[in-house]
Amino acid sequence: MNAIIKIPTPFNEPVYSYAPGSREKKDLKAHLEKMLNEKIEIPLIIGGKEILSGNMADCRCPHDHNHLLAQYHTAGPP
């Protein structure tokens, strides 16, 4: 058994400029728009288990309070 560890050479991911008109910027904007149109339900996680309490509250964009991003289950009395 050899006690010498060979650490793999790290490599960086490509750095994108997101310049106006670039493919990366268009793809990012399209994905963000898709995500903004999805509504998700966020469960409680207690002891590693998902719990759906039925008591719901809204999660809104910090920059656009009229836009509903998600609804989450709350803990405690209704």
10-19 pLDDT per residue, tens: 999 999 999 9
Q: Give the predicted TM-score (pTM) of the model.
A: 0.61
Alpha-carbon distance of 63 to 36, in angstroms, equals: 13
pLDDT value at residue 30: 97
pLDDT tens, residue by residue, 21-54: 999 999 999 999 999 899 899 999 999 999 999 9
Residues, the chain, total?
Answer: 78
Which sequence spans correspond to the domains of the chain? Answer: 40-78
Query: Residue 69 is encoded by which pair of tokens?
Result: 């991003």
Per-residue pLDDT, averaged over 58-76, amounts to: 93
Task: Give me the pLDDT at residue 7, please.
Answer: 92
